Amino acid sequence: MAKVKRPGVDEPDIVAGVGGAESSALLSELVAHLREQRTLLREEWARRITEAKLLTAMSKDEIFAEATSVYDNYVEALETGTFEALQAYARNLSERIIPRGVETHEVVGIVLLLRDVLARSLFGKYQRDFEKLNRILDAYEPAANRIANTVAVGFVQERERVIRQQQEAIRELSTPVLQVRERLLILPIIGVIDTQRARQLMEQLLRGIRTNRAKVVVIDITGVAAMDATVANHLVQTVEASRLLGAIVIVTGLSPEIAQTLVNIGVDLGKMNTVGDLQGGIEEAERLLGYKVAQLSEASPTA
C-alpha cells in the first residue's frame, strides 16, 4: 500500500468502496498530476468549451480566466475533499454570470466537460497500467461527481434566490398605498392577485390606515382581470378588517367579469361599498369626509 502523504486529510465519504488510506494516496497522486498538467488541461478545457458553443455570453478571455479559477478550485476540492470553498466559489461565480444570461445547461455542461477532459488525461497517463487506472478512477469518479453536483446545485440555488428576490421586489412595487387627501387613501391593484398577494395587500393597507389615520380607503381593481372565490373572500376580509380600524372601504372598477364572478359565488355584497369607477369612488369618499370640490372658473387654455 502506498504511503499516505498528507495524514491530515480524511474524507472517507467521497471514496466509499475503496480503502481510505489507499485512495487518499491515489488522490494525492492524481492531484499532483493535475497540477503538473495545469496549463495544458486548462487550455484544452477552454478550447472544448468554445467548441461546444457554451458560455456564448462571455468573451474568450473571460472564459479562460474563469476556467483557470474553476480548474484550481476543482483540483483543490479533489485534494482536500472539502467542498465549502468550492461551494462559495460556485455561488460567487453564479452571482456574476446569472445577470449575463448564462443558462443552467451551460454551467452543468462546462463542469461535465472538465470532468471529461481530466478523465481523458488520466486515461492517457495510466493506460499502460490498467489496474492502477481502475483504482485511480475509483478514487476520482465519486469526488468528481460530487464536485459537479455541488457546482450545479450552487448555480440553481443562486438562480432561485435571484428569482425569489425579484418576486419580492415586484410584490413590493405593485401594491402602493397612496394618500390623496387628508384621511383618504387609494390602493390601486393591478395584475393578478393570488392568496399571498391578497394577504400582503391587506397587511399593507391596515398599516397604511394606521400611519395615515385614514377614514376612507378606495380600493381600485380596474387593473385586475379575474378573481376567484378565495381572492374575493380576501377582499371582503380586507373591508371588514379596515372597518375594525375605523375606516370605510369603497371598492371601485369592478369589471363585468368580476361582477359576474362575485354574484355567482355568492359573496355577501351587503357590507361592500362599491362605486363604478375610480373617479366616482373618490367623489364618494370626499362626500363621506365632508369635502366639497368646487370649480373656481372655467379652465382656460394656457397662453
Partner 1 sequence: MQVPILKQGHFVIASIQSALTDDDLLQLRDALVQQVGRYRSRGVIVDVTVLDVMDSFAVRTVRDIAHMTRLRGAETVIVGIQPDVAFAMVQLGLKLEGIACALDLEEGLAYLDQKTKNSARRGY
Interacting residues toward partner 1 by CB under 8 A? 202-203, 206-207, 209-210, 213, 215, 237-238, 240-247
Side-chain half-sphere CA neighbours of 142 within 13 A: 17
Amino acid letter at 35? R
Q: Which is nearer to partner 1, 90 or 285 (CB)?
A: 285
DSSP state string for 149-196: HHHHHHHHHHHHHHHHHHHHHHHHHH---EEEETTEEEEEEES---HH
Nearest distance in Å: CB 190, partner 1: 23
Q: Which is nearer to partner 1, 102 or 227 (CB)?
A: 227
**CB proximity list for 128: less than 8 A, separation 6 or greater:** none
Q: Is the dihedral of CA 207, 213, 218, 220 positive or negative?
A: negative
Q: Which is nearer to partner 1, 86 or 202 (CB)?
A: 202
Is 226 within 8 Å of 257 (Cβ atoms)? yes
Q: Which is nearer to partner 1, 244 or 293 (CB)?
A: 244
Q: Which is nearer to partner 1, 31 or 272 (CB)?
A: 272
Nearest distance in Å: CB 137, partner 1: 59
Nearest distance in Å: CB 245, partner 1: 6
Is 98 within 8 Å of 159 (Cβ atoms)? yes
